[in-house]
Structures are given as C-alpha cells and as structure tokens.
Amino acid sequence: MSTNYGYLYNIEGWGDPYFAVNSSGNISVKTNGVETTSEQEIDLLAAVKAATAKNLQFPLILRFPDVLKHRLDSLYTAFINAIQYTGYNSHYQGVFPVKVNQNKDVVDNLVNFGKGHVVKFGEDHYYNFGLEAGSKPELLLAMHSLINGSPEAYLVCNGYKDMDYISLALVARTIKLNTIIVLELEDEVDTVVAASKKLNIRPVLGIRARLLTTNPGHFGSTSGKHGKFGLLEAQIYANNSACSIASNYFTSTSDMSVAYGFEEYASAVVQAAKLVCNQNGVQHPVLCSESGRALASHHSILIYDALSVVEDPSDSVSSDELISRLDELVGNPTKLHANLKSAVRSRDSNNNTSRAHADQLKKHGVEIFKLSRRLAKQLEAAGETTYSYHANLSVFSLTPDFWGIKQLFPILPIHRLNEQPTQKGTLIDLTCDSDGKIDQFIGEALTLPLHALEQSGGGYYIGTFLAGAYQEPLGCKHNLFGGPTLVRVDSTAGSSGGFTVELLATGPSAADQLKAMHHDPDEIMNDIAKQGAEADDWTENIVKKVLGDMPYLFGAA
C-alpha cells in the first residue's frame, strides 16, 4: 500500500469532511461531506484534466455546487437542532452577504438551494434563505435573483444609503420581496420617511447596533464605540427605535480565524437569544444571521500549474550577522518608547512630536519583523536547498487577501500525494512585483513541501483551497492580469466517481483588460500592424491572438 503524504499539508485539519487523498494519490472531493461514499468522490485531477481537454486556460476556479448545498444544509441543521434542544419558540432563516462572492452562479445557486427544506423532528423546516446587499449594484442583482427564490426569504439592505438606494429598496417590496432596510446612520431615518411618503410604500426597518465590545484581532477597528458601522444606544433611543439583540464572538485563535463550527455557533446564538428574551419578557424573534465565508469558502478551488523551478541562492548575510543586527535594533525601541511616552505626556498641541516618535517606533518594529523572518527562513532551511516555483497566477488578482492582510490559505499539489515531496519551495507569481509571491503557509511554515517537476513535461498542478469567499471581487488588475477561467463541476448520480464539467466563464482576455483601462484594442492592433512589413501576416496574427487570449501563460498540457 502506498504512503499518503497528505498529512504534510494537514488536510484532515482544514479539509474535513470535503477533501481527502484517494488511492491514486490525488485530492478527492467529497461533495456530500461525511455522507459521501467512496464511489461518489470526485477525483480533482480528473476534473482538471476534463477542463483542459476542453482547451480551457489556466488558472482555473473549479466550483462544486454540491458542496455549497451541503454547507447550507449543515448550517440549517445546526440551527434546527439547537432550537429544538433549547426550546426556542421561533425559527431560523439566514441570508448570504453577496459582497462575499457576487458571481451570478454562486448567488443563484444559493437562492435556489434556499428554497429547500429538511424534515427534522417530524416536521418540515423550510429554509427561506435570502440575500444581503450593501450597495445599489448588489441590491439590483439580489432583487433579480430573489425573484426566483423563496417568497419568505429576507432581502436585507445594509450599507450607507442615499435616496436612490432607499427608493430601490422600497420598489423591491412592490415586487413582493421581503425587504428590510437596515439603518446605519441617523440621517437615513429622514431619507426613508421622505422616500416612503413620495412612493407611498410602507418600509420595514431594521437597525444596526454598534456594540461597545471591542475585538483585539485583525478586524478590531470595526468594533467598539469608534467602529465604522451602526448606531450607538443613545442614537437608537433618540430616533424612537427599538433595538434588536446582537451578539459577537471573539474566540479566534489567531487575528483572523474562528475556532467554532456550525453546531457551536448555532447553539451559542440560540441560547443567548433565548436567555436575553426571557429575562426581558420579549417574544422570541426569528433568528437571522448572515453567513458568507462559512458557506462559500469550501466549494471553490483555485488551480494553477507550475511553469518552472529555480534553486534559491543562499542568503548573502550569515545568521550571526542577522542576530547582531537584531540585537542593535532591539536595544533602540526602549529609547524610542520613552521618547514617545514623554511626548504624549507633555501634550504636544500639534501632536507632531508624538507622531514622529510613533513613526520611528513603527519603522523599527517593521525592520525587526523583516530581519526576524529572514532569520527564521534561514533556520527553517537548516542547510537545505529551497526552490522558487514559478506559478501561473497573479497573487494580486486571485488571492488578494494573502497579499493584503496575509490571510493564509491551504495550498498543496492536487496530485502525486502518494510520492514523497523532495523539495521545499515558495510560489512566485507572474507579476513584476516583489510582493507577488506566496512565502507563508498554514502552520507558520515559510516553505511548502513540493515535488520535482517531471522531466517528461507533464503538468504539476497546485491548488489553493478555501478561497471561495472575497477573493474574486477583491482581485485587482496588477500588470493587467485578470480573473481565472470559471468551471462548474457536478457529480453524476448513479456513476462511480462520475461528474460533468461546464464552462461558466472564460477569464478576461488581454483585450478586456486593456479596455478596462480605457485602451482601444482595435486601435492597438491596427496601429501595430501598420508598422509591420507589407505582406507580413505574422504581425497582425500574433497581436490578434495575444489580444484574444487570457494574459496568463500556456504551460504543460
């Protein structure tokens, strides 16, 4: 029996119950979680090969809508169980914040799945799953999608609003959508009243409460008294409005992760709601939560190929020299800190001195961090050679959260996991930017176990997992690289490991990217062709092909 090297990437830790390594050494997708039989598992490499057989270009995003449905089913099952066991006298129905992934296929799938139900405790429990919008374009797409959704589904309107936004939300009620306008600012009350009178449409309102509880984590700036969102208690009472219950959980083990699953989450919410309502003699309300990343992350996998590998040069500075530099830097912040405290206590009227000392302290901290990382990388390598794998992707376009906030995604080869990886590597993207690399991985590792590329030229495919939330809408056009090819993979009932592959959308072409920056591709092609030699068809043909293809590279088939 061959060895399974999936443990090197902690697949059981982050991938259970949807991802595993099969007997061929490939990642398999278990679309129904723990209920998936071995015959129902989809071989991820086979799905990639099926996509490339259709001449689809890397990078690819493979969507598994069955996984998305299973996530929604699991969320509702958790709340139904918690409500039953707690004796809560109402029900749960959630919404998907479309900011997480506005792609039509994702939104429409969730709305369609949201019309479903489950039989539990001898009763039918209907999902009535809805959407949450935070801008006018998001509201338009949510309205369009929910026309075909459950009539009882909520359409929650969040975000800052003007007269047009509020008027559109009121129009949504006239087409029989269960629309709730959530107030974010005091001024919005007057706008809602004016729009409601003008259109003669009665609104349903909610209020976003700004909790005083603060979060020390990465997103702490959005919490507490000075947070960006919501109304404070005094503002709520000043507007003669009723405040609903809100809860927040700061149980993360890092500054961006959560340490609870659906069951713990649902149980905590239901118990807290019941307790507070009972203490205040309030009827138990319908529980509604927005679940975005928890629903969308697992069903979408980014796949790209490694184009080449180069050996990293050894660090020109020794570990002893780095330690000496660190010793020098670590001694200085004490003085800088004292200067900062002195400036603050002297209450410098312009705060200029305080700011200058704070900036110095920050720069020192950054230098210490950089040197520490460099030293850690040297120690981790411990005399071993490390390699740079040139990957067919743009970090800025496809995993912007890694570049922007250093969110770590599970990354691993999707095949050859029955072979021991022999090299430690980092991933270098196609952009002309020193930040265009992935050199930090799950488990605080600075390198990733990878295989040597096959001499025969066969492709080496790497997957970034749990990236179905936020990455596509946040991606930018650095070096005019764009989005990936989108592919839908559906399991086929009754066939062992059967699936179908459907192209949802090709990634934007070079011409599309140029148009987005206000260049005219036709003008570019014509002017370049004019400069070519007469009767030379090559110039026009080559330019035309490059304009029509995605900006990414063509690697091994």
In sequence order, what DSSP letters do the residues of 380-398 get, joined into one string?
A: HHTT--EEEEEESS-HHHH
- CA–CA dist 381, 379 (Å, integer): 5
Across 322-475, where does the E strand assignment appear? Answer: 386-391, 411-413, 423-428, 437-438, 448-450, 461-464
**Where is the domain boundary, 362, 381, 400?**
381
CB atoms within 10 A of CB 128: 24
Is pLDDT of 201 > 90? Answer: yes
Question: Is 200 inside a domain boundary?
Answer: yes
Is pLDDT of 141 > 70? Answer: yes
Give the pLDDT confidence score for residue 556 in this predicted structure.
Answer: 57
Higher pLDDT, 243 or 516: 516
> For the whole model, what pTM was predicted?
0.85
Residues 75 and 221 in one domain: yes
Between 219-228, 232-241, 468-477, 488-497, the lowest mean confidence (pLDDT) is in: 232-241
Question: Is 499 inside a domain boundary?
Answer: yes
Is pLDDT of 487 > 70? Answer: yes
CB distance 454 to 73 below 8 Å: no
Is pLDDT of 540 > 70? Answer: yes
Is pLDDT of 330 > 90? Answer: no
Question: Is 532 inside a domain boundary?
Answer: no
Q: What is the mean pLDDT of residues 507-518?
A: 96
Q: What is the mean pLDDT of residues 432-439?
A: 93
Which secondary-structure segment (H or E) carries 57?
Answer: none
Question: Is 208 inside a domain boundary?
Answer: yes
352-381 and 319-345 helices cross at what angle (nearest 10)?
A: 160
Which secondary-structure segment (H or E) carries 186?
Answer: none
Q: How confident is the model at residue 536 (pLDDT cuts 50, 70, 90)?
A: confident
Q: Which residues pair with 500 in a beta bridge?
A: 490
Close Cβ partners of 252 (under 8 Å, ≥ 6 residues apart):
217, 258, 259
HSE-CB at 285 with a 13 A cutoff on CA atoms is 14
Q: How confident is the model at residue 374 (pLDDT cuts 50, 70, 90)?
A: low
Q: What is the mean pLDDT of residues 399-413?
A: 94
3-state secondary structure of 236: helix
CB distance 151 to 176 below 8 Å: yes
CA angle 271, 277, 281 (to 5 degrees): 145
Residues 120 and 151 in one domain: yes
163-174 and 187-199 helices cross at what angle (nearest 10)?
A: 50
Residues 60 and 70 in one domain: no
Percent of the chain with pLDDT over 70: 78
Question: Is 555 inside a domain boundary?
Answer: no
Give the pLDDT confidence score for residue 111 in this predicted structure.
Answer: 98
Which secondary-structure segment (H or E) carries 125?
Answer: strand 123-126
Residues 351 and 461 in one domain: no
Is pLDDT of 283 > 90? Answer: yes
Surface-to-core class of residue 316, CB atoms within 10 Å of its CB (0-12 exposed, 13-18 middle, 19+ buried): exposed
Q: How many domains does the chain have?
A: 3
- CA–CA dist 397, 168 (Å, integer): 32
Phi-psi region of 538 (alpha: psi -120 to 50; beta: other; left: phi over 0): alpha
Question: Is 192 inside a domain boundary?
Answer: yes
Residues 54 and 79 in one domain: no
Between 221-235, 434-448, 492-506, 516-530, the lowest mean confidence (pLDDT) is in: 221-235
3-state secondary structure of 131: strand
Q: How confident is the model at residue 238 (pLDDT cuts 50, 70, 90)?
A: very low
CB distance 466 to 298 below 8 Å: yes
Q: What is the mean pLDDT of residues 315-332?
A: 64
Residues 291 and 306 in one domain: no
Residues 308 and 454 in one domain: yes
The two tokens of residue 89 are: 């006298």
**Backbone CA torsion sign across 80, 82, 84, 87:** negative
Position 211, amino acid: L
Domain CATH for 134: 3.20.20.10
Residues 169 and 286 in one domain: yes
Percent of the chain with pLDDT over 90: 65
Is pLDDT of 150 > 70? Answer: yes
- CA–CA dist 87, 139 (Å, integer): 35
Q: What is the mean pLDDT of residues 467-488?
A: 94
Residues 306 and 368 in one domain: no
Residues 196 and 252 in one domain: yes
Question: Is 541 inside a domain boundary?
Answer: no
- CA–CA dist 520, 510 (Å, integer): 11
Question: Is 72 inside a domain boundary?
Answer: yes
Domain residues for the domain of 365 are: 319-381
Give the pLDDT confidence score for residue 119 in this predicted structure.
Answer: 87
Across 393-494, where does the E strand assignment appear? Answer: 411-413, 423-428, 437-438, 448-450, 461-464, 485-491
Between 27-31, 398-402, 489-493, the lowest mean confidence (pLDDT) is in: 489-493
Give the pLDDT confidence score for residue 260 in this predicted structure.
Answer: 78
Q: So which residues are the catalytic ones?
A: 432
Residues 211 and 126 in one domain: yes
Residues 225 and 343 in one domain: no
**Where is the domain boundary, 495, 510, 525?**
510
Q: What is the mean pLDDT of residues 467-490?
A: 95
CB distance 540 to 532 below 8 Å: yes
CA angle 275, 121, 128 (to 5 degrees): 75
Domain CATH for 502: 2.40.37.10
Give the pLDDT confidence score for residue 248 in this predicted structure.
Answer: 34
